[in-house]
Amino acid sequence: MKILLIAGGWSSEREVSLNGARGMAEALRALGHSVTFFDLLTEFDQLLPQAREHDFALINLHGAPGEDGLVQAMLDRVGCPYQGAGPAGSFLALNKAAAKQLFRHAGLPTADWEFLPCPPPADWQPRLPYPLFVKSNTGGSSLRLGRARDRAELDKVLAEIFAAGDEALIEPELKGREVTCGILGEEALPPILIEPVAGDFFDYESKYATGGAREICPAPIAPELTDRVRELALAAHRALGLRGYSRADFILDADQNLTLLEVNTLPGMTSTSLVPQEAKVIGLDFGQLLERLMELGMARRKS
């Protein structure tokens, strides 16, 4: 197939996107596909003409544009199939405050939160007790994320988020270990247990530095807990109206309770990223996983 590999873009996660796309292009060419590497930052105005000339678009964008549904909506207008969620599901998953409303509506366990779309007034006080986790409402890769143990630390993280033009989401600090679980088609994959090597939460350095975290797949947890993680990941996928694939992240506390953090509609896609690790456990190597994503995207177009 002639594949348009869309990467780069202009979000803060641009370099993560480009690095992953290089490995994807290599794997696709090894399988005999013709690949056009398309950097959205420099070629945005040529997206539709290029899409019309290709059989399929593989999107490897993180943040907005990409995870906000813009590219998907444009591809839909010219009938170019692509992998993963459509425009609406992408937008809802990227907006953490909106997604948490949908999780709560669906009865899924998610932490309480406070949404700040703009800097609060001087006399504002958070509704939730310290310590707090503060994050960009539409960011990813654990960028602009921090823990606040008091008002001074809270103000510092909020200032960084608002200076970048983002909205802020505040949640209570959740003690426990991180577990993540991918969805492929309508099947939940084997979960991964994540243990940061440096620090005590899965920040940007832990995600992308060599040896920054131990990622154990399948997760060494009880079988009934594995089933529960997979059940919740699939329920979150459906609550957001997603398709194709996604990845849900959880905190597992000392009492074996799970709290849903968020769902990623364009999860990292290098050969050692989380979803490819999970796919490998069920017998799909990196190239086979990419081909499965394309099969799912083509099937959706035909239906």
Per-residue pLDDT, 210: 54
Residues 193 and 102 in one domain: yes
Please check the confidence at residue 279 and state whether its pLDDT lies above 80: yes
Q: Beginning with the edge strand found earlier in the chain, give each strand of the sheet holding 132-136 in spatial order.
A: 114-116, 168-172, 132-136, 145-148
In a domain, 251, yes or no: yes
* pLDDT higher at 241 or 64: 241
pLDDT of residue 200: 57
Write the CB contacts of 73 (distance below 8 Å, at least 6 apart in sequence).
87
Task: Assess whether 97 and 245 both reside in one domain.
Answer: yes
**pLDDT tens, 26-52?**
999 999 999 999 999 999 999 999 999
Banded model confidence at residue 202, pLDDT cuts 50, 70, 90: very low
Please report the pLDDT score of residue 199 as a whole number: 55
Checking if the pLDDT of 281 tops 70, the result is yes
Report, as residue numbers or ranges, the catalytic residues: 13, 141, 273
Question: Does one domain contain both 217 and 269?
Answer: yes
Q: What is the pLDDT at residue 197?
A: 77
* Averaged pLDDT for residues 208-230: 87
Q: Which residue ranges are tagged as binding site?
A: 249, 262, 264
185 and 298 in a single domain? The answer is yes
Is residue 32 located within the same domain as residue 62? yes
Structure-model confidence comparison of residues 303 and 88, the more confident one:
88
The reported pLDDT for the residue numbered 213 is: 83
Residues 100 and 166 reside in one and the same domain: no
* Residue 239 phi, psi dihedral angles, 5° rounding: -60, -30
Predicted confidence at residue 143, as pLDDT, reads 59
Rounded to the nearest integer, the mean pLDDT of the chain is 93
Domain with residue 196: its CATH number is: 3.30.470.20
| 212 pLDDT more than 80 | no
pLDDT category, 145, cuts 50, 70, 90?
confident
Percent of the chain scoring above 90 in pLDDT: 87
Cα–Cα distance list, 190 to 154, 183, 197, 242, 250 (Å): 36, 9, 22, 19, 14
Q: Domain check: are 119 and 167 in the same one?
A: yes
Please report whether residue 259 resides in a domain. Answer: yes
Determine the Cα–Cα distance for residues 45 and 52; give it in Å rounded to an integer: 13
**222 close to 230: Cβ distance less than 8 angstroms:** no
Q: Which residues are annotated as a binding site for Mg(2+)?
A: 249, 262, 264
pLDDT tens column, 236-272:
999 999 999 999 999 999 999 999 999 999 999 999 9
Phi, psi of 144 (to 5 degrees): 50, 55
Buried (b) or exposed (e) across 234-255, using 16+ Cβ within 10 A? bbbbebbebbbbbbbbbbbeee
Mean per-residue pLDDT for 112-141?
92
Range of the domain at 54: 2-82
State how many domains the chain has. Answer: 3
